[in-house]
Chains A and B, each alone.
Chain A
Amino acid sequence: MEHHRHDVVVVGAGIAGLYAAMKAGESADVAVLSKIYPTRSHSGAAQGGCAAALGNETEDNWEWHFYDTVRGSDYLGDQDAQELLVKEAIPVMYEMEHLGVPFSRTPDGKIAQRKFGGHFGQFGKAPVQRSCYAADRTGHAQLHCLYEQSLKCGVRFYNEFLVVSLMIEDGVCHGVIALEIRTGMLHAFWARAVMLATGGYARAWKVTSNAHANTGDGLSLVLGHGIPLEDMEFVQFHPTGLYPIGILVSEAARGEGGYIFNKDGERFMKKYAEAKMELAPRDVVSRAETTEINEGRGIDGADYIHLDLTHLGADKILERLPQVHELVFKFAGVDCIKEPIPIRPTAHYSMGGIPTDLDTRVLLDGRETPVEGLYASGECACVSNHGANRLGTNSTLEAAVFGRRGGMAMAEFVKEKGPVVVGTAIPTQHVEDEVAHYRAHEGKERASVVRGELQDAMQNLCGVFRDEEKLSKLVAKIADLQERFEHVGLQDKSKVFNTELNELVELKHMLDFCEVIAKSALARQECRGAHWRTDFSGRDDEKWHKHTLAFKEKDGSLRFEYKPVVITKYPPEARKY
């Protein structure tokens, strides 16, 4: 095993990881490890924009953004984190402009802003233009800019390194172990501070907007060290996944004025969110769509409905939504200037994740005790900004704001502690053995079959609507698949670019965190945000206004604890749009 040493190691090169690397890189020696080239990270797929109450187009202020985020989260977000998010959004957006992000502009040259679901002015009144955008390629523009800035800072990139293990001992993190995909060799990276920024996990569903790389690796990496996962039952289904494969049609399409219709040509959102219509938050719209489809009002009775942009006109579509136009044409053969787009909900975003404090330090007990030297930010983390439901454009924002905070916190920590010592007594042999074991995997099962069955099960049993029967079935199914995983054989025996091995490791992660999702969802007996139990009616603040913490015990079983939600300003109220 080759050994390396850096002050800071960041795992993941999306917006969160790169912002952290760039910030820490101003004073520390930083390495970024990513299983794909940085610019391939899924942050680049973000289209619609990044929220900040700049007030460039319509009057706005952070307090309204705060209120919307709290309500959007169905009061499960921690309000200290949410307040930080919306306040720091403003300087961070300006900083990104200074760094070079090519934002679209208003006629007077400021950063352009558009409407997005769930964002309103005057404490929930009329839609406000809060999403800062670069056409509908905002994430792409941000990701590339941050990558380039990290290069400028001298950040060292280890591209196509798959992190397979964390070196944690006695509550202190000393680094990570990674598989160099190109050679099949293992490397130990010793660091004073490690940040996990491994992104989301919606690949566990069959219909998803997520990239193949979004397999939630960071989650199961910490779970094995006794660190809990928080609020994993809250998974966002985005209302406008392109039918049938689920790639995303940006919410910008509705922000710019798109309508959704059922087979009778009815703008059915008026039945579900009379005031806010298509711009209600995602959980509300996805449930409405699913109800329409379940009740036979999908287009031609099939399981999709229509998103119609035709009334926006060619000019607006081509200027503001060029990528949407290109995507639906390439992948569905639909010219959205002339015809409606077939859509349905698609698994999109993970609200839950690795519990952290406001400086992104990972919490060993999920409450207040940090693991020394371990940080997490972006979609894999849970501080919790989004609670039970995230608002569109708040997640690239979270990745930027908290990636940045984490970068600064790590730099500070390194200054305090000095450089790390290589090769303290942490054994690494077991990782070599584990990888060797994977390589030698023999058996008649195929990873793709196990994965496919897992994705089907998550799709059918843990979707927009859930109940005890479905979730119990799911728990049993996952146990069965975990058992079958042991009999998966590898056909590829090569060490060089063995992507079958990568997929096997990723499948193991997926099985691990899906078990947590299923059991967390089964335990939570209420409807809140994106977690909707048809066998319970409504939100139950008395019993369930609390965060889930799932711990993996030494014997492999899961133990649940719950912790209170941080309320600083807004106690729970009924949520209506």
Chain B
Amino acid sequence: MERQFKVFRYDPESSKKPYFQTYTVDVQKSWTILDALNAIKWEQDGSLSYRRSCRHGICGSCAMKINGKNELACELQVFTLKGVIKVEPLPGFEVLRDLVTDMDRFFGHIEAVKPWLIAGLSPTDKERLQSPEDRKKLDGLYECILCGACTSSCPSYWSNDDFLGPAALLKAARYCFDTRDEGFHERMDVLNSRNGLWRCHTIFNCVEACPKDLNPTEAIVRLRARLAAEKI
């Protein structure tokens, strides 16, 4: 079936301002948006740029704004959308080219929360024990694929991109709530800083945007409670 795609185009090397280009694609049943973008790139216009790799929602490369919502292009089926389909880069991030945004800042914020296990010496010849119940506390935290959909949907981030953003704070929670971790105090400064937990206004856009159904807002709220408890 023929469908129309209105795609954001921008090349800093050309004198043209950003614009939308419309492509007509003969889409097949069960095609995703990524399939359609590939068809455009491979059959019509080789100059269209976007990121993709795994094509099944695990690598986090292909987050973009599709019909006004942040989505993974490789997971969203074309048939679920009506009319002309509008495809844009993730908002809130600098556009490098077409659908490609600058992710360096995003990854920098992840690094800022010290996303590694901070723990004393571990037993040398065996694993550390962790009960299945304690391990369960990481469910909903460790699955994040760092696609950026959440941070890009956050109004607090739009107004100040020094804000660590939901993805980085979710990552902090992944370690802070790991019963093997002892690093809460080391992370406290950055979490408690101007650009940390308090800049979140619990607007819940991130929850809406997450393609993996994770809940960064809840993680932020729980981290705040922990912070308050530690301060007392």
Contacts and interface: CB of A to CB of B under 8 A. Distances in A.
A45 B58 contact: yes
A145 B50 CA distance: 27
A330 interface: yes
B115 interface: yes
Given A102-B138, A140-B145, A500-B47, A40 B54 contact: yes
A496 B131 contact: no
A331 B32 CA distance: 9
Given A109-B130, A490-B46, A499-B49, A42 B59 contact: yes
B129 interface: yes
Interface stretch (A92-100, A189-197, A265-273, A522-530): A92-100
A497 B98 contact: yes
A159 B111 CA distance: 14
A67 B139 CA distance: 36
B138 A494 contact: no
Contacts of A493: 47
B135 A105 contact: yes
Interface majority SS (helix, strand, loop, mixed), chain B:
loop
Given A105-B131, A140-B143, A490-B46, A497 B53 contact: no
- Residue with the highest number of chain A CB atoms closer than 10 Å, among B115, B122, B127, B132: B127
Interface in A489-522: 490-500
Given A211-B54, A494-B97, A40 B59 contact: yes
B129 A108 contact: yes
B13 A36 contact: no
B230 interface: no
Interface in B33-66: 41-43, 45-47, 49-61
A491 B14 CA distance: 14
A44 B42 contact: no
Given A39-B145, A40-B59, A105-B135, A100 B178 contact: yes
6 contacts: A40-B53, A99-B117, A159-B107, A330-B57, A492-B49, A496-B11
Contact of B13 (A93, A108, A494): A494
A212 B178 CA distance: 34
A545 to B, nearest CB: 37
B54 A182 contact: no
Interface residues of B, number: 58
A94 B127 contact: yes
Interface string A142-169: 0011001101100000010000000000
Contacts of B181: 100
Interface in A68-115: 91, 93-94, 97-100, 102-111
Nearest to A210: B54
B59 A45 contact: yes
Contacts of B49: 492, 497-499
B18 interface: no
Contacts of B59: 36, 39-42, 44-45, 211
Given A105-B135, A144-B142, A495-B13, 15 more contacts: A36-B59, A39-B60, A39-B146, A94-B125, A105-B131, A107-B131, A109-B132, A144-B146, A152-B116, A323-B58, A446-B43, A496-B12, A496-B13, A497-B96, A500-B41
Contacts of A144: 142, 146
B116 A499 contact: no
A108 B134 CA distance: 12
B55 A102 contact: no
A414 B196 CA distance: 40
A50 interface: no
A331 B54 CA distance: 13
